[in-house]
Amino acid sequence: MIKELNQKIQSRELSCLDLNKEYLAIIKEKNESLRAFLEVYEKEVLAQAEAVDKKVNRKKKIGLLEGIPYGLKDNVCLQGKRTSAGSRMLNNYQAVYDATVVKKLKEAGAIVMGKTNMDEFAMGSSTESSVFGPTKNPWDESRVPGGSSGGSAAAVAAEMVPWALGSDTGGSIRQPAGFCGVVGFKPTYGRVSRYGLIAMASSYDQIGPLAKTVEDVALIYQVIKGKDVKDNTTIEKSEADLEDNFSLKGKKIGIVKEFFDSEGLDKKVKTTVEKRIEFAKEQGVEIIEVKLDYFKHSLAVYYIMMTAEISSNLARMDGIRFGFNESLEKDAKAKDILDVYNFSREMALGPESKRRVILGTYVLSAGYYDAYYKKAQKIREIIKQEVKKVFEQVDVLISPTSPKPAFKLGEKISDPLQLYLEDIYTVGANVAMIPGISIPAGIVSEDGKDLPVGLQLLGRWWEDEKLLSFAKALEL
């Protein structure tokens, strides 16, 4: 899609201004209901689109992303614009700098259409914990779009923008991509700079793209990846380009038997994913059953380490340096600085954020650090080594993206454990720091509604382009 739009603008078959006006019209039509966008920068969008048209009219070549609009998850800093992370705590915060990914996209000429909705501080699997209200799934507005990048996924699925950026801490790009029937890609940890991303869990967070096709996701990834001196976890590493005619013949795909035998896996989802596995077999792929004894503990490791890192990262949200400071009357009556912290956090943080901060503080506290956090770190290293060994046998791992199709709004919000289990297939990639992608696998019927099913592929460290090539070959 991006290449086609680029060619149409370059050939003047379609003006960049008309293209962006078309997307703005779709947003105006659908956003009141879907609530995918929190803000739309119409004036700036039209001005940038006009500038691209002037460049084309002067017969100058434009870049692939130049003039193409996108949605930006509201935890990624955009200079001069509100970056709320879906929380009342940062409702009035205006970013004073651009995130590295935003800077790269600006240099490439991409146009930020606006900020997309998300779970508060990216804590959630449904986009229901946003202080601005939940985003709805374009396939069925009574259902969630997934989370925490639900706004970005819904915006792409509803054709409000051709692509969007999200962040993935335990599946927050891939799971909503699966629920909304789009492609969502989480690069290897360290491939894309996190500078300018409001941190949730720093050793898990990764920015990545969502789009309608694997090819589009790959184009965006090429622009945003690379070493950044402002993020010392990033590296510069050369890799092969996306292969248009990638052959699956002779390749080896691993399946984890426990993933497919799980009682929680919906039968229709299982059948849909198995059909894509059969398609892979027909293309000459060898399917190998692999054993991952420790990988099944990824969810437990994730929720211990993630909450601990949240507790540390959200400590700066104290109502003074950052955060909610509208409780002046209460603050004036505060006996000490602790009261100021308590008042601002009580009023500004939602239930899920409070829950995770409290749990994280507990696992980091004296007497429990060794029993929980330190042990989780050790298991994480074992999982990394186990995954490394498995990738000596296979090229990629395959699984459902989520155990079930998109669930109903309000269905699980009161049961945190049920929500956490939505990440059961996706968290492993973040624990092991490997790349993962969700692509549409097919459609199932639920209560008379067609709903998409996602198929997840996991790849080796630093072999992001190879994973993308696999995904493109298996794409519907």
Contact 204, 314 (CB under 8 A): no
| Residue-by-residue DSSP string for 263-329 | TTS-HHHHHHHHHHHHHHHHTTPEEEEE--TTGGGHHHHHHHHHHHHHHHHGGGBSSSSBS----HH
- Which pair of structure tokens corresponds to residue 308? 């601990």
Q: Does 172 qualify as catalytic in the annotation? A: yes
| Chain centre distance of CA 240 | 24
Q: Does 148 qualify as catalytic in the annotation? A: yes
The strand ranges marked E within 25-128 are: 37-40, 69-73, 111-116
Round the CA-based radius of gyration of the chain to a whole number and report it: 22
Closest CA to 186 of 198, 196, 176: 176
How far, in Å, CA of 132 to CA of 88, rounded?
9
Closest CA to 206 of 114, 101, 283: 101
How far, in Å, CA of 418 to CA of 435, rounded?
25
Contacts of 243 (CB under 8 A, 6+ apart): 469, 472
Half-sphere exposure of 24 (CA within 13 A, CB side): 17
How far, in Å, CA of 151 to CA of 174, rounded?
13
Which amino acid is located at 353 in the chain? S
Which amino acid is located at 98 in the chain? D
| Segment holding 185, helix H or strand E | strand 183-186
Instruction: Give the CA distances from residue 351 to residues 87, 131, 303, 347, 354, in Å, rounded to whole numbers and listed in that order.
Output: 11, 11, 16, 11, 5
Instruction: Give the CA distances from residue 40 to residues 24, 45, 393, in Å, rounded to whole numbers and listed in that order.
Output: 8, 9, 47
Contacts of 103 (CB under 8 A, 6+ apart): none
In terms of Cβ atoms closer than 10 Å to its own Cβ (0-12, 13-18, 19+), residue 156 is buried
ω into residue 148 within 30 of 0, thus cis? yes
Per annotation, catalytic residue among 130, 148, 399, 469: 148
| Segment holding 457, helix H or strand E | strand 449-458
Per annotation, catalytic residue among 15, 87, 152, 172: 172
- Which pair of structure tokens corresponds to residue 314? 């959200």
Closest CA to 135 of 62, 215, 37: 37
Which residues are part of the catalytic machinery?
A: 73, 148, 172
